[in-house]
Amino acid sequence: MVRQVASDVPVYDVPVYDVKTMEQIAAESIGGRRLLLVLLALFALFAGLALALSAAGTYGVIAYGVARRTHEIGIRVALGARRSHLGGMVVGDAMRLAAGGIVLGGLGALAATRVLASVLYGVGARDPATFASAVGLLGTAALAAAAVPALRALRVPPSQAPRER
């Protein structure tokens, strides 16, 4: 039904509903994708945080174990063992321990990929680059964790080593 008003412009009696700006319509059309990207970013952030915490934990445990051997290292130096041999022994023991943990963790991660395969897009669940970077970071943390306290323990004079604990 059309009515005429004083200015001779027709006015339609059609109700107006759901009035939105073009920006609102565009935001609603990409809302689902935006939510998925935010969730993906949060997932990546928490994954990075977990990797950093595992590297810090690995460093702490191995450094503590090596520091506890300062007494033993000092006695071996006092008895005539070569410092290079002792450093290699301590770092080798720590790296064997770290390698065992990395292998077990890698097997657990491979087992968990079945669950994650359905939510990954554009990357395989068993992406070699991802696994290699995680192993490299944890291996580097373990090597630094073993080498720093081992060098500190090797610098202790043999006369003071029996008092170190």
In a domain, 60, yes or no: yes
What total number of domains does the chain contain?
1
For 12, the enclosing helix (H) or strand (E) is strand 10-12
pLDDT of residue 46: 94
pLDDT of residue 61: 85
Rounded to whole angstroms, the Cα distance separating 30 from 35 reads 9
In a domain, 38, yes or no: no
Q: pLDDT > 90: what percent of the chain?
A: 6
Rounded to whole angstroms, the Cα distance separating 124 from 127 reads 5
Range of the domain at 127: 55-163
In a domain, 116, yes or no: yes
Q: Each residue of 95-142: pLDDT tens digit?
A: 898 899 889 988 988 888 877 777 776 667 777 888 888 888 888 888
In a domain, 79, yes or no: yes
For 52, the enclosing helix (H) or strand (E) is helix 31-67
Rounded to whole angstroms, the Cα distance separating 159 from 149 reads 18
In a domain, 91, yes or no: yes
Task: Say if residues 94 and 65 touch (Cβ distance below 8 Å).
Answer: yes
Sorting pLDDT into bands at 50, 70 and 90, what band is 78? confident
Provide the token pair at 102: 């990395």
Q: Each residue of 43-62: pLDDT tens digit?
A: 889 988 988 898 888 888 88
In a domain, 19, yes or no: no
In a domain, 44, yes or no: no
Q: Would you say the pTM of this structure is higher than 0.75?
A: no
In a domain, 10, yes or no: no
Rounded to whole angstroms, the Cα distance separating 148 from 144 reads 6
Sorting pLDDT into bands at 50, 70 and 90, what band is 15? confident
pLDDT of residue 163: 65
